Structure 1
């Protein structure tokens, strides 16, 4: 374990050994996995953090963190008043913070940069950088837990619908994948679509079915088999497509193609 911090209130530690660490005092701890996996144990429950996810641990949380070998993680200790003055959090760890996009990625990049440049930073510079990191981290956590406003939800819905239209043929398209790419939490996307009476899964299926219907009606696709059409639009098989298509439109893909050709 290498201590990259100084004598100030902020600390930045690079943990590289396979060890269990009690997190019971000394300020909030921001966990940033770099490689491998951290196993967080609290009250008989487990939470796993890997690269791309982070956690914020309150000072009084009865928690143990175990690093799975080989594992490396940066642990930033933040003075209690720096967080409590900005957030009203329960005495439980905040886990699963998305550090791959949006504000979470900015925070993670800054923590890594401060760790890499620690030897070139004076104590005031180190503390100033940690102040900015803490401010942005609190904004990221607050945005994750604060219910979005109706205006913001409408904006999220519009962006999500456009994203689904543009990526409907991607077989890996899911609500989680959308959230990561767009920089929002999955909960924000779910709330936005809930207002419109749908879910990420239903929206993706609807857009794919509409795309299939349009292609079945298009003479340019008349020689494309139903199986190839299914795979090209994100369905696992022709039977999966046919079942969903009939449920939605009351007719099979082959019947629609036959009727269109007859006209």
Structure 2
């Protein structure tokens, strides 16, 4: 994933630099003293979209018909407010965003955006957006020409799913990025009015993003939470049957959780920092009942014991002088 950062600094010189960069897209006007102006952004291509994260002091963007005519941008933008506030207007349509709110914006229509600090007294607004081609978003919408400024409140399920997925895309590239962007477009369409022929896709997208959100939670808490069906159902407010259906293709919830814990064990065993750590401690940290249960499960998954992995990792470090990764250890086994 290619990434580009823009941090023109502060003050009037930064304002002039930003105006030069955005001249064909919009006009920019600070709402405070020019010498206090500040803005920074990061852009990254992801799947079939462009991810943009920005932080700025209070300012106004004005996208006029002239900008639209010369800019050649015919895209939709899905924007999540992470901090501060945003007031978006396009014709008679408007949306006011606070933290957690999501808005759909048609970039092919004239609009005005005002960014301000939040109710918490913060001086900046932080936004993260995914910009997708019209060919991705418009066919999913029942009324694409009147969908701009559609607001998805932060407390709603759609905004929570989209916020979770945008946060995941911010973390870096993924083989599933394209599918994630498509699923996000389906979720937005389902929330603001989808075309009849994509109603089934909305349901599939909902399942896709919920499953991705649960998987991220599992990966982040492999050694801190039990991750039982009861715990996950309570956290994600879903039935046990619904949770089990989500994980059918993974071989079941319990199998998925155990496989992720074993993958984490492999990464830890390959790291030099774990050289003197007892296997029983690693097993208990990863919620196995004991070291013998852990060793059996580990051997079934990787074809060798935790002790053998540790020995191979130490040999790799001696031979190459480089810290091995899990892939290095498993490739070494394949050559053996």
Identify the TM-score tier after normalising by the shorter chain: 0.3 to 0.5
How does the TM-score come out when normalised to structure 2? 0.37
